[in-house]
């Protein structure tokens, strides 16, 4: 493995990660670590690809990967943690790594295609922008500077399968970093959110239970997903203020391409995003690093 970039996937037997590799002559500018939660996703190591069997839930598995493979992760400059139901190709992931590096991002994600299953309107691709600087990044396919991931890794050890992604942008901000959605790169989320919630330990509780408990631990409110500024796709100029708010409306018609059964939810999510962008300021927690350090001391 010789790349500066590493993709890690928590893979089941129907994982889409084979499609992320070489296609149409485009070679991946990243190595791949398949951290399989199902034995059928394990194969022989190959050039640029390693396999490990790490059973269990999603976040518990990420925590195991980041601890057991810490020496491997530190060899890279950037790491992406991508769900196995994300449809993408090497060219898109290559570009997402490149945009993050070029714009000195600490934590970022590709946008979602309009035919994706999407919870938040903010995550949908907006063709006006190259990228948007935001206060939230989903756990679905985050990209990290390795130095940033080293700090964020502690959040994976807290035992919450949902909610830590609402905290980590606040930590990045405290560390002086930047978070963004890269609209120039879009991937497709192929399955409804929550389809594997039992596998991830949500029996007798909901995602919201974990989220509220996690936010309470850090003294945070539930943040609305809001962009502070954006970079124009055509001329790379900064966009903010009214221009940013106005152009947030561009994906409103995305509900027409949403998966069947998801269109009303998509319309609501899109309107919510327009409303939040128009009326709310980006929200961040306070003293997140101090709280994490305190939890580390208490855990000793």
Mean of per-residue pLDDT scores for the chain: 93
Judge whether residue 198 has pLDDT over 50. Answer: no
Task: Give the per-residue pLDDT at 155.
Answer: 95
Largest CA distance in the chain: 53
217 domain residue, yes or no: yes
Dihedral class, residue 219 (left if φ above 0, else alpha if ψ from -120 to 50, else beta): left
Give the whole-angstrom CA distance, residue 223 versus residue 173: 14
Task: Give the per-residue pLDDT at 296.
Answer: 77
Residue range 131-138: mean pLDDT, rounded? 98
245 domain residue, yes or no: yes
pLDDT tens-digit readout, 135-191 = 999 999 999 999 999 999 999 999 899 999 999 999 999 999 999 999 999 999 999
C-alpha dihedral, 21 to 25 to 28 to 31, nearest 10°: 70
Give the whole-angstrom CA distance, residue 204 versus residue 248: 37
57 domain residue, yes or no: no
166 domain residue, yes or no: yes
What is the count of structural domains for the chain? 1
293 domain residue, yes or no: yes
Task: Give the per-residue pLDDT at 63.
Answer: 95
3 domain residue, yes or no: no
Give the whole-angstrom CA distance, residue 229 versus residue 215: 25
100 domain residue, yes or no: yes
98 domain residue, yes or no: yes
pTM of the entire structure?
0.94
Q: Which domain holds residue 247?
A: 86-299
């Amino acid at each position: 493995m010789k790349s500066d970039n590493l993709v890690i996937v928590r893979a089941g037997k129907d994982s889409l990660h084979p499609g992320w590799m070489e296609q149409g002559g485009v070679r991946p500018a990243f190595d791949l670590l398949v951290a399989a939660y199902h034995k059928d996703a394990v194969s022989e190591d190959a050039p640029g690809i390693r396999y490990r069997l790490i059973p269990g839930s999603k976040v518990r598995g990420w925590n195991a990967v980041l601890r057991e493979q810490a020496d491997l992760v530190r060899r890279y400059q950037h790491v992406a943690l991508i769900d196995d139901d994300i449809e993408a190709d090497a060219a898109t992931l290559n570009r997402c790594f490149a945009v993050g590096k070029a714009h000195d991002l600490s934590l970022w994600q590709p946008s979602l295609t309009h035919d994706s299953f999407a919870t938040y309107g903010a995550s949908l691709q907006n063709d006006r922008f190259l990228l948007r600087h935001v206060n939230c990044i989903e756990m679905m396919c985050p990209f990290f500077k390795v130095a940033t991931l080293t700090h964020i890794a502690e959040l994976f050890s807290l035992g919450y399968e949902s909610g830590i992604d609402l905290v980590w942008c606040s930590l990045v901000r405290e560390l002086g970093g930047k978070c963004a959605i890269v609209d120039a790169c879009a991937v497709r989320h192929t399955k409804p959110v929550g389809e594997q919630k039992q596998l991830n330990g949500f029996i007798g509780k909901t995602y919201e239970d974990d989220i509220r408990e996690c936010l309470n631990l850090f003294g945070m409110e539930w943040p609305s997903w809001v962009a502070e500024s954006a970079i124009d796709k055509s001329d790379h100029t900064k966009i903010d203020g009214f221009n940013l708010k106005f152009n947030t409306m561009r994906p409103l018609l995305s509900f027409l391409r949403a998966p069947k059964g998801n269109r009303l939810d998509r319309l609501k999510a899109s309107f919510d995003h327009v409303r939040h962008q128009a009326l709310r300021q980006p929200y961040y927690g306070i003293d997140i690093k101090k709280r994490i350090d305190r939890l580390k001391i208490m855990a000793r």
